[in-house]
Chain A
Amino acid sequence: MRPYAGLGLLVVTAIVGAGCATAVDESETAAKATAVLKASFKPAGQAGLDRLDQDETQRACSAAAGKAPAKDVAAVIEQANLATIRYPADGKLIGDWKNGERIAQEGRGKQFSDDPKGPVGANCYACHQLSKAELSFGTIGPSLYQYGKLRGNGVEVQRYTFGKIYNSEAFTACSNMPRFGHKGILSEQQIKDVTALLLDPASPVNQ
Chain B
Amino acid sequence: MNVPMRHAKEAEAYRIGEKLFFFRGGTHDFACATCHSEESKRIRLQDLPNLMAAEGAQKAYTTWPAYRVSQGELRTFEWRLYDCFRQQRFPELVFGSDAAIALTMYLARNANGAAFDAPAIKR
How does the 8 Å CB contact mask read for A27-67 relative to B, with 1 for contact and 0 for none? 00110111011011111100111011110011001101110
Restricting to A59-96, which residues have a CB under 8 Å from any CB of B? 61-62, 64-66
Q: Which residue, A41, A52, A113, A135, has most C-beta atoms of chain B within 10 A?
A: A41
A183 on interface, CB distance cutoff 8 Å: yes
A140–B48 alpha-carbon span in the complex (Å) = 9
Query: What is the distance, in angstroms, from B46's C-beta to the closest C-beta of chain A?
Result: 8
Tally of B interface residues using CB under 8 Å: 43
- Which residue of A37, A54, A125, A126 is within 8 Å of B99 (Cβ)? A37
B90 neighbours in A (Cβ, 8 Å) = 41, 47, 51-52
Checking A30, A52, A140, A178 against B35 with a beta-carbon cut-off of 8 angstroms, the contacting residue is A140
CB-CB < 8 A to A64: which residues of B? 22
Cβ-closest chain B residue relative to A137:
B44
User: In this complex, what residue of B is CB-closest to A31?
Assistant: B19
Q: Give Cα distance in the complex from A42 to B95, angstroms.
A: 10
Q: Is B122 an interface residue (CB 8 A)?
A: no
The number of chain A residues with a CB under 8 A from chain B is 47
A184 in the interface (beta carbon within 8 A): yes
A34 to nearest B CB, angstroms?
A: 7
Q: How far is the CB of A206 from chain B (nearest CB, A)?
A: 22
Are the CB atoms of B43 and A185 closer together than 8 Å?
no
Specify which of B46, B89, B93 is in contact with A111 (CB 8 Å cutoff).
B89
Smallest CB separation, A113 vs chain B (Å): 6
Query: A51: nearest residue on chain B (CB-CB)?
Result: B26
Chain B residues near A49 (CB, 8 Å)? 91
B107 at the interface (CB under 8 A from A): no
Evaluate whether A36 and B98 lie within 8 angstroms (CB atoms) in the complex, with A51-B26, A66-B52, A176-B34 already known: yes
A37/B20 contact (C-beta < 8 A), A48-B91, A110-B89, A139-B42 known: yes
Q: Other than the known A33-B15, A111-B89, A140-B35, what 12 A-B pairs have Cβ atoms closer than 8 Å?
A: A40-B99, A41-B91, A41-B97, A42-B94, A47-B26, A54-B23, A58-B25, A111-B86, A127-B43, A140-B38, A176-B34, A183-B29
A-B complex: 5 closest residue pairs judged by Cβ atoms: A40-B99, A40-B97, A33-B19, A44-B92, A178-B28
Q: Which residues of A contact B (CB under 8 A)?
A: 29-30, 32-34, 36-37, 39-44, 47-49, 51-54, 57-58, 61-62, 64-66, 110-113, 125-127, 135-140, 169, 176, 178-179, 183-185
